[in-house]
């Protein structure tokens, strides 16, 4: 099985989003009817992707517990119970 090149692994999605944005901008400037639809898609998808990845994430309950909780439960901290 052939491995993906490191260049495409790093720059594949940014290039795809750039091409999508460029075609959306170009279509919005020179086309009508179907071009209006494509410009909405071409300009909306990159904005949606940026919004998705920039939205703050909340930690899950499994990772939000303090680090010493498990040690206290196991009794390895030496602290009195």
Tens of pLDDT, residues 59-81: 776 555 555 555 556 555 555 55
pTM of the model as a whole:
0.62
- Give the whole-angstrom CA distance, residue 12 versus residue 19: 11
Count of domains for the chain: 1
Answer whether residue 33 is part of any domain: yes
Answer whether residue 10 is part of any domain: no
Q: What is the reported pLDDT for 5? A: 87
Question: Tens digits of per-residue pLDDT, 36-55?
Answer: 999 999 999 999 999 999 99
Range of the domain at 36: 16-52
Q: What is the reported pLDDT for 67? A: 55
Give, in order, the Cα–Cα distances in Å from 80 to each of 6, 71, 73: 53, 12, 11
Answer whether residue 45 is part of any domain: yes
């Amino acid at each position: 099985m052939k491995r993906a090149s490191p260049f495409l692994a790093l720059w594949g999605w940014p290039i795809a989003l750039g091409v999508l944005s460029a075609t959306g901008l170009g279509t919005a400037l020179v086309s009508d009817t179907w071009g209006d639809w494509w410009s909405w898609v071409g300009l909306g998808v990159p904005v949606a992707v940026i919004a998705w990845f920039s939205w703050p994430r909340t930690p899950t309950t499994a990772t939000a517990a303090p680090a010493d909780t498990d040690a206290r439960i196991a009794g390895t901290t030496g602290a009195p119970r």
